[in-house]
Structure 1
Amino acid sequence: MEGMAVSMHKRLLQELGELRYVPTGKRIRARSRDRVVADSLDAVLVWEPRRVVPVYAVPIRDVQGTLSPAPGGGGAQMPVFLDEQAGPPLGPGVGFAAHTCHGTALDIVTDDAVYPAAAFRPADEVLSTLVLLDFEAFDWWEEDEQILGHPRDPFHRVDVRRSSRRVRVELEGLLLAESDRPSAVFETLLPVTRFYLPREDVRVPLVPTETRTYCAYKGEASYFTVESAGERGIDVAWSYEHPLPDCPEIAGLVAFFQERLDVTVDGAPMVGARTPWSEPA
């Protein structure tokens, strides 16, 4: 008897509720100023339940400091904080302290510093000899290359494709941009296709805002508002001026938040999928 086809998208989303891991095969180092806090050839990427991006985990022996129960963690089996299954996926903006599996929050104590609750030892039998480390607490290297934003997911892809589809972006009837030469960006599990447009095809002045974000796959993004549309101070678009080597094609192009704007592609309205960016911050 033949089985039914399985949607890989649904399968991957179902797995968000699991505690997941994969060895990296890379030398991983965590530094704080001039001090090495962890140095490991046996590091593992770990996703706690509901986490979209992983953190580095290393064997306890590879932490160059003393681990002690964090105040409030107290060695309890559940220093948490969030339910394993209930609630939306947790993006990189949700802090390390929001754990979703059983375990113990730990301070890392060195000769000259204390890193509060910067480590977490899961109670899971497979991972119990490891500690998860707070990415934001340290500077990180894979081999001899610095890693920014968050650890890269080996199962995550960002594909950029030149397109001739006509993309039109409006806000309450005001034309912001129109182009028949966009670059379409497809990113694993992101429910929308992003269209990056040439600056020449933007029809209104873009005013820079102070917002900056960092994507581990694309690099640092700068943001823009559109004062002529009454959106002063609200981010409606962004650009990667100097993207990482993975995505050189998007350098200097402009992408618009289609969750917040009216976007048509070849005359058909884009369906407004809900994402973490659907509402202005």
Structure 2
Amino acid sequence: MATKLSELLFGAFPDLRYQPTPKRIRAGIDGSPVVDTQEALLVWEPKRVTPVYAVPEKDLLARLEPPAAEGDAGPDEYPVRLMADAPPALDPRTGFRRHTAAGEELDVVASAFSVPRAAFRPSDPDLAGYVVLDFGAFHWLEDHEEIIGHPRDPFHRVDIRATLRHIAVKLDGVVLADTVGAHLLYETLLPVRYYIPPEDVRLDLLETSPRRTVCPYKGEARYWSYPESAKGKNIAWAYDSRFIDARQIHGLVCFFNERADVFVDGEQQEHPLTPWS
């Protein structure tokens, strides 16, 4: 019997997962080094969508100490579904300290800094000798390139293809974009995104938003809102040009097709179910 590969992936969500990476991984804080290793692992705790780095304790350039003070992991983020038939997962914004595997929290300490509970030593024997580090607490390099957001998932792919199909975007019946020069972005487990040249977008109807987000595959995004609709807050975005991998969409504008109405060759597309619905 054939197996749908996404079902294998979703079937592993309740498990602690890891994958070795051959990249040189370095982390630091305020100019002080924390780790330098070529033996890192990518680790996904149960129900986590995105990975973090686990590094050998022998390669740490700082000390691990028991937590100096009591701490609260904080509230859970809302669980989300990546697809209609997928099991619940933790929203990727869920904080590092909401651990879903057994293990020990630790402070990361050196003469120049102390970062509380920024390390987690899993109790799983397959990860013996490793500690997971809080990605958001440190500045990270893969080889000699900065990594933002979270480590890139080797099983996660982003493909961008040009299209001559007629793409139109509407919200509450108002046309916000109309083009035959879009680029389609296909990303693992996410809906197709339609990136549109800014000259084909009604930017005069949109307001610049202060919102900024980062994606480890595409860069930093700035946003626009459509103030005439209750569904229009932060409805569109465009990425900067920091990552050459995503150069085909640099400066192009994309709309949340979870909320906006997207028409392809005149046919309205379904609103996908995602964490941004």
TM-score, normalised with respect to structure 2: 0.89
Please state how far the C-alpha of 1:91 moved relative to its aligned partner. Answer: 4.0
Q: Secondary structure at the match of 2:55?
A: strand
Matched, 1:43 2:40: yes
**Are 1:165 and 2:165 matched, yes or no?**
yes
Partner of 1:251: 250
2-side partners of 1:108 and 1:31: how far apart?
11
Pick aligned residue for 1:33 from 22, 30, 34: 30
Following the alignment from structure 1 to structure 2, what is the Cα–Cα distance between the partners of residues 203 and 110?
52
Deviation by residue 1:71-99 (Cα, 9 ceiling, x = unmatched): 448xxxxx8987xx997322431111111
CA distance in 1, matches of 2:16, 2:40: 16
Aligned partner of 1:76 in structure 2 is none
**1:237-278 CA deviation, whole Å, 9 max, x = no partner?**
001132511011001111001111122222222221221111
Aligned-pair CA distance for 1:163: 1.0
Q: CA deviation digits over 1:191-224, x for unaligned, max 9? A: x100001112213523211011111010011100
Tell me which amino acid in the other structure corresponds to 1:254.
Answer: V
Q: Distance in 2 between matches of 1:234 and 1:269?
A: 21
The amino acid of 1:60's aligned partner reads E
- In the alignment, structure 1 segments of 5+ residues that lack a partner are 74-78
Task: State how far apart, in whole Å, the 2-side matches of 1:189 and 1:141 are.
Answer: 26
Matched with 2:88 is 88
1:131 partnered with 2:128: no
Q: Normalising to structure 1: TM-score of the pair?
A: 0.88
Alignment of 1:194-213 (within 5 A): 194-205=193-204, 206-213=206-213
CA RMSD of aligned residues (A): 2.3
Alignment partner of 1:156 is 2:153: no
Which residue does the alignment assign to 1:58? 55
| CA distance in 2 between partners of 1:188 and 1:119 (Å) | 29
Of all paired residues, the percent bearing the same amino acid is 46
Residue pairs, 1:100-249, within 5 angstroms: 100-190=100-190, 192-205=191-204, 206-227=206-227, 229-230=228-229, 234-249=233-248
How many aligned residue pairs are there? 267
Against the structure 1 CA distance between its residues 112 and 204, is the aligned structure 2 distance closer, same or farther, given a 3 Å change threshold?
A: closer
1:118 Cα deviation from its structure 2 partner: 0.3
Q: Is the 8 A contact 1:39 1:62 kept in 2?
A: yes
Report the equivalent of 1:17: 14
Instruction: Measure the CA separation in 2 of the matches of 1:80 and 1:243.
Output: 33
What is the CA-CA distance between 1:181 and the residue it aligns to? 2.1
Distance between the aligned counterparts of 2:274 and 2:164, measured in 1? 26
SS across alignment from 1:247: helix
| Corresponding residue SS for 2:104 | strand
| Greater RCO structure (CA 8 Å; 6+ sep) | 2
Alpha-carbon distance between aligned partners in 2 of 1:182 and 1:203, rounded to the nearest angstrom: 15
Shift in CA distance, 151/128, structure 1 to aligned 2, threshold 3 Å? same
> Any runs of at least 4 consecutive aligned residues in structure 1 with deviations exceeding 4 A, and if so which?
79-82
Report the secondary structure of 1:164's partner residue: coil
